[in-house]
Amino acid sequence: MHMPPSDPTPGIDDIPPAAHCAPPVVDQARFGTPIGTTPWSAPATPPQRHGVLTEAAHDDKAALAQQICDVMRLMYQQEVVVANDGNVSCRLPNGNILITASGVLKGFMTPDQVIECDSQGNSLDGRKVTTEIKMHVAAYEMRPDVRAVVHGHPIYAVAFSLAGISLAECTIPEIIVTMGTIPTAPYSTPSTYDLPDGLKPFLARGDAVIMERHGVVCVGSDLFDAFKKMEMVEHTAKITHAARLLGEVKPIAPPGVQQLLDTRKELGIYTKNNLCDGCGAREVCASPLYP
């Protein structure tokens, strides 16, 4: 069938700028001319963003203790923890662990409220360590590659577990590329050894896990990497919650998931991803509760 020619689409030049529009950002006189040196390089001493210490050598205990406080404060500000909730730790090159003291207001912590423990979680200065240290020790034992563990009780992620709704579905491309899916470990009593034991199979395959009726634990190559995953888990829970209010949430079809895993490979992302571990995307997507 022959289609009649449509009216030519007006070019951008043909549209007169509205009088009230803000002026263009690009200065035509400078278009394409270099600014400063190329390639651009960051200053030797990077600025601290939002008063948060983003750089710390792996054996600088004072800087790491400050980072722990910074991460805890950010988690408090984002309602991942309230009151004395949650704990954050990092592992030193000698295997020892720096961890938040128990019973302190986590949003207002200072570096002197960080305790050094041995690799088994025994305090080295006599101060009381959180009972949740077991979870941290288990994560470090399970994952020789991680330097930091963050644990909190984020509202939306925990609410999904209370409602028995899984977030282990292939719905958001960003999460598939980075973490795979977000599994939920079955309930076990907090502070007992059942809890870290139950976490191990999930941490073996991924960097983030929701603990049913309790909270979320994330591991990372440093404190901010682990914190970033905590943010992503809660953000995913919020998006999923919003989407479920609007209608049905459908997973990405397996070929689409496979493409994302290929992209992940191309990007050189090698964080633990529970979809990459030979389990097959469909297997995970199809299960109402992971695994």
Residues 135, 195 contacting (CB under 8 angstroms): yes
Q: Which is closer to Zn ion, CB of 53 or CB of 101? A: 101
Residue 158 Cβ vs Zn ion, minimum distance, rounded to whole Å: 10
Q: Which range of residues in 29-37, 55-63, 207-215, 270-278 is near Zn ion by CB under 5 A?
A: 207-215
Supply the minimum distance, in Å, between the C-beta of residue 229 and Zn ion: 16
Closest to Zn ion by CB, 82 vs 249, is 82
Residue (81 or 177) nearer to Zn ion, CB: 81
Quote the CA–CA distance of 18 and 20 in Å, as a whole number. Answer: 5
Work out how close the CB of 214 gets to Zn ion at its nearest, in angstroms, rounded to a whole number: 6
Helix (H) or strand (E) holding 137: helix 133-142
CB of 111 to Zn ion, least distance (A): 22
Tokens matching residue 177: 């590329």
Give the distance from CA 213 to its chain's centroid.
Answer: 19
User: Nearer Cβ to Zn ion, position 213 or 238?
Assistant: 213
Q: Which of 103, 86, 87 is nearest to 153 (CA)?
A: 86
**Piece of the chain touching Zn ion by CB under 5 A; list 24-32, 212-220, 242-250, 279-287:** 212-220
Size of the site for Zn ion (CB under 5 A): 1
268: which residues sit within 8 A by CB, 6+ positions away? Answer: none
Q: Which of 121, 183, 196, 215 binds Zn ion (CB under 5 A)?
A: 215
Q: Which two tokens stand for residue 256?
A: 């689409």
Nearer to Zn ion, 200 or 282 (CB): 200
Distances (CA, A) of 210 to 56, 69, 180, 233, 256: 28, 23, 14, 9, 25
Residue 236 C-beta: closest distance to Zn ion, Å:
19
198 in contact with Zn ion (CB under 5 A): no
- Region of 121 (left: φ > 0; alpha: ψ -120 to 50; beta: rest) is left
Amino acid code (one letter) for 147: R
CA 273 to chain centre: 13
Give CA–CA dist 209/217, Å, rounded.
Answer: 6
User: Between 183 and 215, whose beta carbon lies closer to Zn ion?
Assistant: 215
Stretch that binds Zn ion, among 209-217, 223-231, 239-247, 281-289 (CB under 5 A): 209-217
Kindly state the smallest distance separating residue 85's Cβ from Zn ion, in Å. 6
Q: Which of 198/215 has CB closer to Zn ion?
A: 215
Q: Which residues bind Zn ion (CB under 5 A)?
A: 215
